[in-house]
């Protein structure tokens, strides 16, 4: 639990985390190596120097390290675990629901486990999604539209099969659709992360929430023009937030634009763990203030109430989490461990 200097509690839901395995014995080909090396590049360039990990740890940190970084050393109260399969690059997948379920078992009161689907899997994939929903009781999925699958180097949410999967998700009560629409990661294709298809599906699936991870960066303007019109489109701040340290002017522009167009009720905190750990991100975000000239020019402000919403309350609303009840559950669980 994060507390302000005045002692006020801030409930934090880390909306974008992973329990990945990019160890050398799991890498299938050069593309798997390129992918994790690109992640590590973001990690080393945008992190404070004292937060940079050795490469071997970054490749595969494991469940216990993740628990330590999120909930012991870190301020997270809960975390949403997202899947990224990448089975063309990694022998056993990069970040599967089975791997993430290890964290769910480790911290059942703190982890929200999301699934995934790929419309290129056809009928078999629809059955697999139904089985996944039944086994793990998921309320959300993470989609990676640029993922390679054989000769295919991505898909669009507007594809006919994608519509069938979104229809199935809606029927199964999987209402939160997290979509990676951010920077290109080698060797994936930049255009496959374009945000245009969000506009189409958000209009057609009013019963679903589309959380655009990384806020479409570097396509911020395109994303904002879509999200301001579509009431069920949200922005996930993973990748955008680390610029608060490395490029503060850039972050100031991004967050002020998002506040102007989307407002404080449609933005979600995400550390993108393990690219970054949440403690320093939350501390710098809580200390950050918009310059007076930006507040005046754009008519926005990043108040304490706005920060509370972004850091946890907005995600709690999307995932039907009773924050007061959750605080009591976490406290009870912690007390039991101390007693044991």
Give 286-318 pLDDT, tens digit per residue. Answer: 999 999 999 999 999 999 999 999 999 999 999
Which tokens go with 204? Answer: 């057609």
Q: Which two tokens stand for residue 29?
A: 């080909």
Spatial distance between the Cα atoms of 40 and 22, rounded to a whole number of angstroms: 11
Q: φ, ψ for residue 78 (rounded to 5)?
A: -140, 165
pLDDT of 4-52, one tens digit each?
888 889 999 999 999 999 999 999 999 999 999 999 999 999 999 999 9
What pLDDT, in 10s, does the model give residues 50-100? 999 999 999 999 999 999 999 999 999 999 999 999 999 999 999 999 999
Task: Output the CA angle 15-19-22, nearest 5 degrees.
Answer: 130
Q: Residue 332's pLDDT band (boundaries 50, 70, 90)?
A: confident
Give the Cα separation of 33 and 237 in Å (integer): 26
Top pLDDT among 331 and 237 is at: 237
Query: Residue-wise over 124-151: b if at least 16 C-beta within 10 A, else e?
Result: ebbeebeebbeebebbbbbbbbbbbeee
In tens, the pLDDT along 246-267 reads 999 999 999 999 999 999 999 9
Q: Which domains does the chain have, with CATH numbers?
A: 17-339 (3.20.20.140)
Confidence of residue 147 (pLDDT cuts 50, 70, 90): very high
198 touches 181 (CB < 8 A): yes
Residue 337 has pLDDT above 70, yes or no: no
Strand partners, 81: 17, 113
């Amino acid at each position: 639990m994060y507390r302000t200097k005045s002692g006020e509690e801030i409930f934090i839901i880390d909306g974008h985390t992973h329990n990945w395995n990019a160890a050398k014995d799991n890498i299938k080909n050069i593309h798997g190596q390129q992918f994790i090396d690109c992640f590590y590049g973001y990690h080393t360039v945008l992190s404070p120097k004292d937060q940079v990990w050795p490469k071997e740890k970054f490749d595969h940190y494991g469940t216990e390290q993740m628990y330590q970084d999120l909930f012991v050393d870190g301020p997270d109260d809960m975390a949403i675990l997202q899947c990224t399969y990448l089975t063309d690059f990694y022998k056993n997948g990069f970040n599967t629901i089975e791997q993430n379920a290890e964290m769910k078992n480790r911290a059942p009161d703190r982890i929200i486990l999301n699934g995934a689907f790929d419309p290129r899997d056809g009928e078999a994939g629809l059955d697999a999604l139904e089985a996944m929903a039944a086994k793990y009781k998921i309320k959300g999925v993470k989609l990676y539209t640029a993922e390679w699958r054989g000769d295919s180097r991505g898909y669009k949410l507007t594809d006919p099969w994608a519509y069938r999967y979104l229809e199935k998700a809606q029927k199964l009560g999987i209402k939160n659709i997290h979509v990676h629409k951010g920077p290109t990661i080698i060797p994936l294709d930049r255009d496959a992360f374009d945000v245009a298809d969000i506009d189409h599906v958000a209009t057609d699936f009013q019963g679903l929430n589309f959380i655009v991870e990384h806020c479409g960066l570097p396509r911020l303007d395109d994303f904002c023009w879509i999200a301001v019109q579509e009431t069920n489109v949200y922005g996930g701040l993973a990748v955008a937030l680390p610029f608060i340290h490395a490029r503060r002017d850039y972050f100031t522009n991004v967050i002020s634009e998002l506040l102007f167009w989307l407002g404080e009720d449609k933005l979600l905190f995400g550390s993108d763990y393990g690219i970054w750990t949440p403690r320093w991100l939350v501390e710098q975000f809580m200390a950050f203030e918009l310059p007076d000239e930006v507040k005046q020019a754009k008519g926005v402000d990043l108040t304490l109430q706005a920060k509370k919403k972004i850091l946890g309350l907005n995600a709690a609303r999307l995932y039907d989490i009773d924050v007061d009840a959750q605080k009591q559950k976490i406290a009870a669980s912690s007390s039991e461990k101390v007693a044991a």
